[in-house]
Structure formats: C-alpha cells, structure tokens
Amino acid sequence: MGNTNTSMTFLLLIIISASFSSYNILASEIKPSGRIDDMCKNTCSPTYGDGKCAADCRKAGFTSGRCATSFGNKCCCTK
C-alpha cells in the first residue's frame, strides 16, 4: 500500500510539473493576415496612386496594394 501511494504521488507531481512547464510552448506570435501596416510607407498623391502603389507592392513581394486613407493616405500592401 505504501508503494502505491508513493507511486501515485510521484505520478501526480510529474503531471502537475509538466502542465506548469509547457504553458510557454502553447503561446505563438500573432502575425497579421492581410494588410501589412508597416508596409504602409509611401504617401499617395495625384501622381502616386493605386496603380503605382500596387506595382511597388508586387515588386516588394506582396500580391497587391492600394492607397488607404485610414493610414494617412499611405500605400498599403497586402499579402
């Protein structure tokens, strides 16, 4: 009976230790999907519009881009 209690206590301690030590593994970095805010760099103007913005974004490796007034009329690229 003493062996069983000791074994169960030891097993319980292992389970509790494992549950406390693995919480960092479950965390992950949140990455934006869609608009990339830090890619909203160039200011749009009458000479730099959606067409030039989209072309610059494609050159940078994004699928598209457009002028977004919500970011201060900046060219924002999208994945």
Residue boundaries of the structural domains of the chain: 2-78
Which of the listed CATH numbers 3.10.110, 3.40.390, 3.30.30, 3.30.70 matches domain 2-78? Answer: 3.30.30
- Is it the case that residue 28 has pLDDT exceeding 70? no
pLDDT per residue over 45-56, tens digit each? 999 999 999 999
pTM for the whole thing? 0.50
- Is it the case that residue 70 has pLDDT exceeding 90? no
pLDDT per residue over 54-64, tens digit each? 999 999 889 89
**Average pLDDT rounded to a whole number, residues 25-43:** 58
What pLDDT shows up at residue 26?
52
The torsion of the CA quartet 37, 41, 44, 50, rounded to 10 degrees, works out to -60
